[in-house]
Amino acid sequence: MRPKRPEDLAFLVELGRRVRLNRRFQDLTQDELGARAGLSRSFVGIFETGTHGIDVVSLRRVAQALNVPLADLVDERPPNARQTRGLVIGQEGRAAFLSEVGLRVRVARMGRRLSQDRLAKLAEVSRVTLGSVERGDHDAGITTYRSLAIALDVPLAMLFGEHDELARLVATTTRQRSAEPERSEGGTGGETTCGQSHRGSAR
C-alpha cells in the first residue's frame, strides 16, 4: 500500500519514526518487535521507513507489542493538546476492534449531519468502502481512516482513542441501536443526528 499523496507519505514517515523510537527505547530489534506483533522483520523494516502503508489491525498489534496506546501513535495534534488514553474495547479481536472504530466514524459523521455519500466525496473514498468501514466489515488502511478524519474535521486519534464527547455519542448510539432497527444510510438526508459538531462544520 504505497501512499499516493504527499501528505499521506509525510504522515506515514512520522508514524514509522514513532514506532522506531518506541522500539529502540525498549531495546527491541525489528525481529523481536515483529515476533511480538506477528509480523515479519522485513515488514517492520519497510513500515518504519514510512514508504508503505499499514492496515489498522496490524498497526494495533504493533502498538500492543510496544505497550503504547494506538491513539498515541497516530495523534497528529501538538503534544500539549493530546488527551487520548487508548481505545477501550470490551473484547479482543479484529471484528470487535473494527466494529468499534466503524461506530466512531459513523457517530462523528452523524454529528456533522453528513450522509455517507457526502462524506465519501469529501474523503475521496468510495461509498461502498465507507459503508464497509462503518459496519466494521473492512480494514481500509490507516491513510483512508486519516482521510475520513480530515473530512470529518476531527483528530485521527479520536477514532482510535478515548474522547469524552465521542464516547458519550457512541454510548447513545449503541443504546439506540439496541432499541430500534438500523435505519437506511442511503440518500442525502433523513438521518437522526446523535450530536452536535465537535469543532464546527466539515471542510
DSSP, residue by residue, 88-150: --SS-SHHHHHHHHHHHHHHHHHHTT--HHHHHHHHT--HHHHHHHHHT-----HHHHHHHHH
Could you count the other beta carbons within 10 Å of the beta carbon of residue 68?
17
| pTM exceeds 0.75, yes or no | no
In this model, does residue 189 exceed pLDDT 60?
no
Residues 5, 7, 8, 13, Cα dihedral to 10°:
130
Could you count the other beta carbons within 10 Å of the beta carbon of residue 198?
17
Residues 84, 96, 191, 86, Cα dihedral to 10°:
0
Q: Is domain 6-74 given the CATH code 1.10.260.40 in the classification?
A: yes
Please tell me which residue, 80 or 199, carries the higher pLDDT value.
Answer: 80
Please tell me the predicted confidence (pLDDT) of residue 97: 85
Span 98-157, pLDDT tens digits: 888 998 999 899 989 999 999 999 999 999 999 999 999 889 999 999 999 999 998 888
Residues 6+ apart with CB under 8 A from 37: 44, 58, 61, 62, 64, 65
Sign of torsion over alpha carbons 103, 105, 110, 114: negative
Please tell me the predicted confidence (pLDDT) of residue 130: 96
Please tell me the predicted confidence (pLDDT) of residue 172: 58
CATH number of 94-179: 1.10.260.40
Domains 6-74 and 94-179 share a fold: yes
In this model, does residue 171 exceed pLDDT 60?
no
Span 40-87, pLDDT tens digits: 999 999 999 988 889 999 999 999 999 988 888 888 766 554 544 444
Please tell me the predicted confidence (pLDDT) of residue 102: 92
Q: Determine the Cα–Cα distance for residues 61 and 35; give it in Å rounded to an integer.
A: 11
Please tell me the predicted confidence (pLDDT) of residue 71: 86
Please tell me the predicted confidence (pLDDT) of residue 193: 36
Please tell me the predicted confidence (pLDDT) of residue 196: 38
Span 21-52, pLDDT tens digits: 999 999 999 999 999 999 999 999 999 998 88
Structural domain boundaries of the chain? 6-74, 94-179
Q: Which residue has the cell 450522509?
A: 115
